[in-house]
Amino acid sequence: MFDFLLLAVAGLAAGLLNAVAGGGTFLSLPALIYVGVPPVSANATATLTALPGYISSAWGFRHDMTREGVLSLRAIIGVGAVGAVLGALLLTITPGDTFLWVVPWLLLLATVMFAFGPVLLGQIQTRGGGAVGVFGSGIAIALVSIYGGYFNGGLGIMLLATFGFIGYVNLHGMNGLKNVLSAVVSLVSSLTFIGAGLIAWEQAVVMAASSALGGYLGARMSRRIVRTDLLRHFVTVVGALMALVFFLR
């Protein structure tokens, strides 16, 4: 019962955080490992369980999304899908012990990106990123999608920074597109993980259901949260603590 409640609460909180600020994997991945799911399988399962939250929060932002930059939505999704497959395939060939060694470094990278993401995004938008062109935009989307296919942590803030880099300026629209592309990356990589037999289904069902609820609530609440900086500081502290715990292990 404790494991069930832990997974449900972690999934709900992860879905909410992914919709509002990102960083949900800081909670879902450690929870899955804590209840006994092997590291590589836990990472794959965390990616799958984030999918319903991404879809529900994207639906909540559906009226905000408009085309910006030089790439069409179809092109962004296509490039993102290819990158997600490459990242997922890389995970499937990573030994469990190696991934457990890599996890704290990935969590640390995601935490740093999350902490300094708004500053980076502001700098990119101030200087103007649309001049990178079609090729540069495609490469940027591909790289962040490969990362997302391998490890879902910090994907949201990296996507926001990437969208700023390729010319997006409407933050609510960027949040919506962030969740759309996150859903595509999670779906494509999850299909790869399912084929490789990496999903812990019993734990995934519980966390996916609560993540969907959290994602929808997060999208509805996002405009009402005045002090998003406090939420970001909280998530940054959680990410740093999780990275420290895995380093100590």
pLDDT, tens digit, for every residue of 5-41?
999 999 998 888 777 766 788 889 899 999 999 989 9
Which of 80, 56, 31 lies closest to 206 in space, CA to CA? 31
Burial class for 230, CB neighbours closer than 10 Å (0-12, 13-18, 19+): exposed
Q: How confident is the model at residue 242 (pLDDT cuts 50, 70, 90)?
A: confident
Q: What is the mean pLDDT of residues 95-99?
A: 87
∠ CA 225-108-19, nearest 5°, is 25
Pairwise CA distance, residues 200 & 35, whole Å: 11
pLDDT at 146 over 70: yes
Consecutive H or E run containing 169:
none
8 A C-beta contact, residue 167 and residue 68: yes
Q: Based on the number of CB atoms within 10 Å of its own CB, is 3 exposed (0-12), middle (13-18) or buried (19 or more)?
A: middle
Q: Taking 60 as the threshold, does the pLDDT of residue 112 lie above it?
A: yes
Contact predicate 56/215, CB 8 Å: yes
Q: pLDDT at position 227, please?
A: 59
Using the 8-state DSSP alphabet, how is residue 177 labeled? H
Q: Are 129 and 1 in contact (CB under 8 A)?
A: no
* CA atoms of 47 and 203, how far apart (whole Å): 12
Mean pLDDT of 50-72: 76
pLDDT tier at 3, thresholds 50, 70, 90: very high
